[in-house]
Amino acid sequence: MSDLVLSEDRGPIRHVVLNRPDKRNAFHAELVLATGAALAAAADDPAVRCVVLRGAGPMFSSGMDLAALSALAHAPDRLRAFRRHCIEAWNRAEEMPKPAICAIHGACIGGALELALACDFRVLAADAIVGMPETRIGLIPDVGGSSRLPQMVGLGRAKELVMTGRMIGAEEAERIGLATRVAAPEELDASVQRLADELLACAPVAVGLAKRVMDASARPALAATLELEVVAQERCAATADFAEGALAFSEKRQPAFDGR
């Protein structure tokens, strides 16, 4: 398995660790594929009863690698292929018949938050920040965020977060239902372990089936809305606004959008 993602077993708990700390665990094609492979391996291992997704370094993940996205901006087929790999990888967390916990420290931004939303639980350090700022560079959350977030926090809250690109802290994330639990930074690992222990105390087949039934009930039209996301993103990626947004981000300035 790629050293971009590390796997560590702690009894029946598989820790899957994003390991690109020098790039703030930003997702490029290789990290996306490695994450999907690690989640698939955990899902298929009968000795694993719970999966914890973590990030190495100072934050969980800064989201998608903007340089990689910019290179795909005017190549719709390549953008769709990259996005398909992301969806397949992220969906593994949701579709595996065992609970998946995302442990978030530092920051969880954009596509990384979309991965966290595909997990069953999100445990945040009290000083962590989360958000989907894609609209600030001329894009939309297109790997499940626009589909999953409304079911989790309600349509109104989701619209506010996505359409303003606002980042929020752990306390607000817990208040609106985005964070399952919040812990002091030094207690994050212990809080994740306590949640995992509670899950392990329950019958694994029943836990897995309950997960499947509740997800199906909450998101019956997920496949259709995921396709709408990519159609919208392809249109966004071809705009002058995205070109300006990506340039402004690299230059650390406010973009000048004109709706083209």
Mean pLDDT over 65-94 rounds to: 81
Q: How far apart are alpha carbons 124 and 226 in whole angstroms?
A: 26
pTM, full prediction: 0.92
**Residue 79 pLDDT > 90, yes or no?**
no
> Is 192 within the bounds of a domain?
no
**Residue 233 pLDDT > 90, yes or no?**
no
Q: In what order do the strands lie in the sheet with 121-125?
A: 5-10, 13-18, 50-55, 100-104, 121-125, 181-183
Percent of the chain at pLDDT > 90 equals 70
> Is 164 within the bounds of a domain?
yes
**pLDDT for position 55:** 98
Which residues are catalytically annotated?
Answer: 114, 134
**pLDDT for position 219:** 74
- Per-residue pLDDT of 8-31, as tens digits, reads 999 999 999 999 999 999 999 999
- Per-residue pLDDT of 173-198, as tens digits, reads 999 999 999 999 999 999 999 999 99
Q: Can you give the C-alpha Rg of the chain in angstroms?
A: 18
Q: What's the burial of 6, exposed, middle or buried (CB within 10 Å: 0-12/13-18/19+)? A: middle
- Per-residue pLDDT of 103-147, as tens digits, reads 999 999 999 999 999 999 999 999 999 999 999 988 889 888 999
**Residue 1 pLDDT > 60, yes or no?**
no
**pLDDT for position 12:** 98
Q: How far apart are alpha carbons 73 and 191 in whole angstroms?
A: 40
More confident residue, 248 or 86: 86
> Is 90 within the bounds of a domain?
yes
3 state SS for 52-117: EEEECCCCCECCECHHHHHHHCCCHHHHHHHHHHHHHHHHHHHHCCCCEEEEECCEEECHHHHHHH
**Residue 161 pLDDT > 90, yes or no?**
yes
> Is 133 within the bounds of a domain?
yes
**Residue 170 pLDDT > 70, yes or no?**
yes
Report the Cα 32 to chain-centroid distance in Å: 11
**Burial track 147-182 (b if 16+ CB lie within 10 A, e otherwise):** bbbbbebeeebbeebbeebebbbbebbbebebbbbb
**Residue 74 pLDDT > 70, yes or no?**
no
**pLDDT for position 236:** 80
* CATH label of the domain that carries residue 56: 3.90.226.10
Mean pLDDT over 77-86 rounds to: 82
Which two structure tokens, joined as six digits, stand for 31? 């990290």
- Per-residue pLDDT of 37-63, as tens digits, reads 999 999 999 999 999 999 999 999 999
> Is 42 within the bounds of a domain?
yes
Provide the sign of the torsion angle of the four alpha carbons 189, 58, 128, 13, taken in this order: negative
> Is 249 within the bounds of a domain?
no
Domains in the chain: how many in total?
1
> Is 23 within the bounds of a domain?
yes
Distance from first CA to last CA of the chain, Å, rounded? 43
Q: Tell me how far CA of residue 59 lies from CA of 31, 127, 139, in angstroms.
A: 16, 11, 23
> Is 220 within the bounds of a domain?
no
Which two structure tokens, joined as six digits, stand for 134? 């894609």
Q: Please choose, from the candidates 218, 85, 62, the residue with its C-alpha nearest in 3D space to the C-alpha of residue 150.
A: 218
Query: Mean of the per-residue pLDDT values for the chain?
Result: 92
Q: What is the residue range of 104's domain?
A: 5-186
